[in-house]
């Protein structure tokens, strides 16, 4: 079980640094953790030769993992990951993020933790009950104190954003935020609904939505983005798993751990998910239209049933090639292509502009 947690944890670090961990690299980490030699791995690694593994794949993996752990502040600049020490280095880091250490406990004399939901780079997310509100369900997000040198700053940034934003009907309401010996905690309302990644897989083909459904999805998502941008905040991680569709069809945006204040500085900040992340965001310079780009990618995925990483792009322009994979009107396709333009200067510059065109299309 710990091996699976290691892979999940390492993958979350790669994603945070706008990189990916492919299936072969996961297997190399897995088998290295178990103490297998490269010779023993060759039969399980998709036909790669021993020489190719030892000369190309493995060295690149250990270099990337070393760099990402250093950037995350989890190892020193002198430390380096190799096949021989991967377990020694990663085991204490991952054990600090064990997902079940709080299940069954009551924290802050009010919130009873019932179930582990997810593990992130800086802590865990749990389902709980608010004993002060007649056992109402809530989501409890823990930031482990030792998970990152700047963890308090990350906690304060997210709690402040939710405090200012969560009165919007499409953002989970912030219930409480506090700290104790286990870490820093955010508690927000549990949203009844289904995350879009249960319909739109972020890794494999899924069901196809019709144009009317996708237009409604775009309008609902953009409505909450307009509100967030008006508060000078960029979400930076719009993707199916961060969008919950309620029973009434309304979209709720979750996961504000990746937000960035719009400050017009040149300080590079790297965060996002491959496939949904705009080019300028991948270069460390996100802007409001980066969220518009990601929203379009979700819409295109709903129309085609294919994750963005499985669609081809025009070699000359870099624009996504997707229209032949969908049943869609030319006007709506033009809107999505403008939203997802690779050049942010040619993209819609505000959510308001997109909504005007979409609402005209839906009439």
Which residue numbers are catalytic? 237
For residues 275 and 237, what is the distance between their CA atoms, to the nearest angstrom?
11
What backbone torsions phi and psi does residue 125 show, to the nearest 5 degrees? -120, 130
206-226 as b/e, with b when 16 or more CB fall inside 10 Å? bebbebeebbbbbbbbbbbbe
Contact 47, 54 (CB under 8 A): no
Tokens in use for 165?
């934003």
For residues 300 and 340, what is the distance between their CA atoms, to the nearest angstrom?
9
For residues 151 and 170, what is the distance between their CA atoms, to the nearest angstrom?
27
Contacts for 241-248: CB closer than 8 Å, 24+ residues apart: 241/195, 241/196, 241/197, 241/202, 242/195, 243/195, 243/196, 243/298, 244/191, 244/193, 244/194, 244/195, 244/196, 245/193, 245/194, 245/195, 245/196, 245/217, 246/191, 246/192, 246/193, 247/192, 247/193
For residues 91 and 55, what is the distance between their CA atoms, to the nearest angstrom?
26
Judge residue 264's burial from the number of C-beta atoms within 10 Å of its C-beta, 0-12 exposed, 13-18 middle, 19 or more buried. exposed
Q: Considering only CA atoms, which of 343, 339, 345 is closest in space to residue 322? A: 339
Residue whose tokens read 């983005």: 225
Contact 362, 219 (CB under 8 A): yes
- Pairing of the two strands 183-189 and 136-143: antiparallel
Residue whose tokens read 């060295």: 59
């Amino acid at each position: 079980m710990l091996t699976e947690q290691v892979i999940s944890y390492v993958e979350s670090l790669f994603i945070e640094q706008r990189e990916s961990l492919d299936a072969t690299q996961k297997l190399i980490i897995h088998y290295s953790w178990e103490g297998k030699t490269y010779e023993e791995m060759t039969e399980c690694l998709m036909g790669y030769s021993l020489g190719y593994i030892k000369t190309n794949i493995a060295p690149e993996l250990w270099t990337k993992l070393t760099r990402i752990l250093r950037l995350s502040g989890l190892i020193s600049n002198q430390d380096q990951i190799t096949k021989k020490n991967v377990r020694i280095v990663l085991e204490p880091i991952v054990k600090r993020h064990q997902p079940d250490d709080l299940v069954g406990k009551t924290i802050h004399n009010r919130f009873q933790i019932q179930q582990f939901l997810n593990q992130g780079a800086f802590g865990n997310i749990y389902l709980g009950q608010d004993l002060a509100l007649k056992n109402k369900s809530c989501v409890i997000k823990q930031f482990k104190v030792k998970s990152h040198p700047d963890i308090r700053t990350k906690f304060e940034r997210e709690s402040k954003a939710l405090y200012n934003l969560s009165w919007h009907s499409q953002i989970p309401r912030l219930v409480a935020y506090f700290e104790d010996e286990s870490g820093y905690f955010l508690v927000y309302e549990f949203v009844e609904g289904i995350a879009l990644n249960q319909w739109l897989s972020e890794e494999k083909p899924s069901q196809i939505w019709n144009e009317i459904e996708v237009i409604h999805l775009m309008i609902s998502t953009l409505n909450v983005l307009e509100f967030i941008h008006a508060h000078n905040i960029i979400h930076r991680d719009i993707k199916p798993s961060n969008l919950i569709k309620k029973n009434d069809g309304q979209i709720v945006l979750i996961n504000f751990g990746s937000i960035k204040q719009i400050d017009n500085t040149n300080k590079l900040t790297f965060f996002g998910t491959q496939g949904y992340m705009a080019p300028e965001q991948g270069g460390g310079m996100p802007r409001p239209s980066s969220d518009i780009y990601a929203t379009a990618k979700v819409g295109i995925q709903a129309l085609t049933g294919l994750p963005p990483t499985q669609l081809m792009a025009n070699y000359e322009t870099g624009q996504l090639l997707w229209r032949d994979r969908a049943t869609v009107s030319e006007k709506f396709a033009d809107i999505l292509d403008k939203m997802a333009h690779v050049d942010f200067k040619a993209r819609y510059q505000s959510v308001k502009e997109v909504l005007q065109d979409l609402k005209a299309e839906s009439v």
